[in-house]
Amino acid sequence: MARFLTGRILRGIFTVFLVTLVVHGGLALLPGDPIRALFGQRRPDPLVLEAMRDQFDFNRPWIVQYLSYLKDLVTGDWGNSFPGSIRGIQDVGPPVEGIVAAAAPVSARLIAPVLAVQLVVGAAIGALAAVYRRRPAGTLIYLISVALLGIPVIALAYVLQMGFAWELAWVPTRGLDAWPSYVLPVTALSLTTTCLVILFARSHLRDVLRQPFIKATVARGIKTHRVVGLHAMKVSLSAFLSLIVSNLGQLITGLIIVETIFGIQGLGSVMFSAIYARDRPLLLALTILTTVFVTLANILADATHLLLDPRTQETL
């Protein structure tokens, strides 16, 4: 197991390294001058432009820029973001690591309940659908899940916000403070993947429930809900986790939409304004950060798989 994990971690590091190379290099290849673009229609002093290019390290050869960026990245110096409004040469935006450090906890408080809902609600309702698959209740769960899958997060966030602000003022529709304010953003962010988990759990648990070790537990007289909830679930759980982790990218883009619409000052809002302001240093750092996060989550999911299902250890 240790050997497997070391291999996974090394491959993860290699992939993240390749991503930094491709993203940094790709941005350098794109036409246009990112500093000039900051000024829009205005005509800046060529000297100011030149000084700013130096400030943000666009003047040295690309490979030198890249290597020094990589070194700074590892040592925790992620550079300065672009200034929001340009007044003078020295005017740079706040440091990227500071922006991320301020916004990340907010997003973490949002992501944690979302992942919990996706796993717990998805597995529970999926199990019900698997047990009752030949009855109307199971078919109903199936149809509702497929239908809800058709609502993109962008539509869902608006509809939730409007529905609850307009007629049913039960929970706040903006910000993130006390628990009621979590209800709408967490629902908007978790719905799609929860439905995917339900559909997956429905067909996966059906296959698991046919296996001999389940028949053995049934034969020993263990009650159905215990067989499904404990014995079958133990095997299926890691598969659900893998599904949730493979949808993390969708969750992160959902975060941009939902935080923007609900006025939450987390990483999603930061990404939105970075995209809007064409803030290259900030975008670069956020992309790499996301990649590290997704890669790490994948490794953790694999590790959980090994822990929960001893059969996978034999195949290593």
List the one residue from 4, 8, 9, 23 that touches another protein (CB under 8 A).
Answer: 23
Read off the amino acid at residue 276: Y
Whose tokens are 């648990």? That residue is 205
Nearest-approach distance from CB 143 to another protein, in angstroms: 10
- Candidate ranges 66-74, 102-110, 143-151, 180-188; the one touching another protein (CB under 8 A): 143-151
- Candidate ranges 67-75, 103-111, 117-125, 141-149; the one touching another protein (CB under 8 A): 141-149
State yes or no: residue 8 binds another protein (CB under 8 A).
no
CA dihedral (288, 254, 268, 257) in degrees, to 10, reads 140
Question: CA-CA distance, 311 to 316, in Å (whole number)?
Answer: 10
List the one residue from 92, 124, 151, 171 that touches another protein (CB under 8 A).
Answer: 151
- Candidate ranges 69-77, 115-123, 212-220, 284-292; the one touching another protein (CB under 8 A): 284-292
List the one residue from 3, 43, 134, 220 that touches another protein (CB under 8 A).
Answer: 134
Nearest-approach distance from CB 283 to another protein, in angstroms: 5
SS3 for 95?
Answer: strand
CA-closest candidate to residue 159, choices 191, 197, 116, 201: 191
Q: In 10 A of CB 171, how many CB atoms? A: 16
List the one residue from 5, 120, 146, 216 that touches another protein (CB under 8 A).
Answer: 146
Going by C-beta distance under 8 Å and a sequence separation of 6 or more, which residues neighbour residue 201?
122, 123, 125, 126, 127, 129, 130, 236, 240
Q: In 10 A of CB 89, how many CB atoms? A: 15
> With respect to another protein, which residue has the nearer C-beta, 166 or 310?
166
Q: Give residues 68-127 in contact with another protein (rule: CB under 8 A).
A: none
Nearest-approach distance from CB 181 to another protein, in angstroms: 16
State yes or no: residue 152 binds another protein (CB under 8 A).
yes
Nearest-approach distance from CB 7 to another protein, in angstroms: 14
DSSP category for residue 91: -
CA-closest candidate to residue 184, choices 201, 206, 162, 202: 162
Spell out, one character per residue from 188 to 227, where the chain touches another protein: x when CB under 8 A holds, - when not.
---------------x--x---------------------
Whether residue 240 contacts residue 193, with contact meaning beta carbons closer than 8 Å, is answered with no
State yes or no: residue 286 binds another protein (CB under 8 A).
yes
Residue 80: phi and psi, rounded to 5, are -95, 150
List the one residue from 59, 249, 300, 307 that touches another protein (CB under 8 A).
Answer: 249
Going by C-beta distance under 8 Å and a sequence separation of 6 or more, which residues neighbour residue 284?
23, 24, 27, 69
State yes or no: residue 180 binds another protein (CB under 8 A).
no
State yes or no: residue 161 binds another protein (CB under 8 A).
yes
Structure tokens given for 59: 């003047």
Question: CA-CA distance, 135 to 147, in Å (whole number)?
Answer: 19
Nearest-approach distance from CB 200 to another protein, in angstroms: 13
Q: Which residues bind another protein (CB under 8 A)?
A: 11, 15-16, 18-19, 22-23, 26-27, 30-32, 34, 133-134, 146-147, 149-155, 158-159, 161-162, 165-166, 173, 203, 206, 248-250, 252-253, 256-257, 260-261, 271-272, 275-276, 278, 283, 286-287, 290-291, 294-295
